[in-house]
Structure 1
Amino acid sequence: MIAETIFSAVSAAGLGIAAVTAYRKRFLAATRIAAYSLVPVGLVMTGVVKWAAHTAFSPVAWLGFVVLGVAWLLFLTTRAVERRRGGTRKERRAAEKAARREAVAPAASAPSLPGRSPAVRPEPQPAPRAQGSGEDFSDIEAILKKHGL
């Protein structure tokens, strides 16, 4: 009952400050203050304050918070160990596989048949430009030629 009274008084004081702020023609700030001051009344009306007061004096609730804290510390500890080792076992295996694939020959092509040489594509030649245009479209032309356009 005391918590509800205190929350209601805080809300009333906040609404009074909002009224004074609105009187000073600062309507945006007054609206924001009114919104903040209505939150405690809303919490009282929904029963959150009563629930919180019962939780604060309940030993079972405090033991629950302790258990949650221990779980949180265990998560943090395992994450720190993973970082120190270089990730989870699954991530390390994936990195090792990628390293083995790269170590073989990253730029190697498919094996060629005996007696046949690999086909060599000629370099595309840039198209001649008009001398008087003054604009340089060589990079655009290279991109278009690369895509066969």
Structure 2
Amino acid sequence: MAGSTGGSGSSNPLTNPSAPKILLAKPSAGPVPGKFGHGGAEDETAAHRARLPPVGSLNLLSDSWEFHIDRFLPFLTENTDFTVVGIIGPPGVGKSTIMNELYGFDGISPGMLPPFAIQSEDTRAMARHCTVGIEPRISAERLILLDTQSYP
């Protein structure tokens, strides 16, 4: 991605205007303090989200191998110029960590959860997956990231 510097800690969209703006993200458990109400780009993103249909599940491909294109297609119809990045690999190698870096998540912003869940030691010990099926995230810059369930 042009102009991106991975791992520098300067990828916070509030401090770095070139960081991706989130259009499709996991629904949060509640409001994140300071996330909305700043005006400008955040209001534009919120307005764009309001025009899109509600997303019940973000999985493009579920754990039961059901393909949910109907939930994903409206995000692709307004503009066909986009880049798709998908990462596959065994459990615990850093697929979600890489996707979070590409997405612009810096991990130092208080109250912000990563767009892609990162496997904890407890999750790994219980042999569970953080990602089930294929979970897409879309930025306003038309970067589509596909996080996948690990394979054995």
Which has a greater percent of strand? 2
Structure 1 length as normaliser, TM-score? 0.19
TM-score scaled by length of structure 2: 0.18
Question: Does 1 or 2 have the higher relative contact order (CA < 8 Å, sep 6+)?
Answer: 2
Greater helix content: 1
